[in-house]
Amino acid sequence: MIAWMAGMMYLPRLFIYHHKSEKGGEAERHFVQMERRLLRGIINPAMGAVWVLGILMLIANPALLSETWLHIKLVLVVVMSAIHGFYAASRRKFEAGERPRSERFWRVTNEAPFILLIAIVILVIVKPF
């Protein structure tokens, strides 16, 4: 989970730098490579591990499914997975030479995984529902 979240917070930062780089320049090629390696080498496998381990946890302890906080947490994890998919699609656009969205958009989007992470951790620790 930590690797997934770290990658999800770092990838939009790379998009910001990529957005600022000169089209067709060496920096752009470098960012394309960094983004690809981060997504394929760290973020994708980490997300897969989170889902597999989460499902195994529920198989081992199905009583958790009766907890409201867990339902909310699962919704937030699905939202995080959707953001992951959006980032992956955006990475492909950057690799194709496009500049999807604005630099400001990526600065704001950079905060979404962090906010979701805080909410997920609070739900798990406090179990308010």
* Interval 112-127: pLDDT, tens: 999 999 999 999 999 9
What is the reported pLDDT for 129? Answer: 86
Rounded CA gap, 38 and 48, in Å? 14
Q: What's the pTM value of the predicted model, to 2 decimals?
A: 0.92
What is the reported pLDDT for 11? Answer: 97
Q: Can you give the residue range of the structural domain that contains 67? A: 2-126
* Class of residue 24 by CB neighbours under 10 A (exposed 0-12, middle 13-18, buried 19+): exposed
Domains: count for the chain: 1
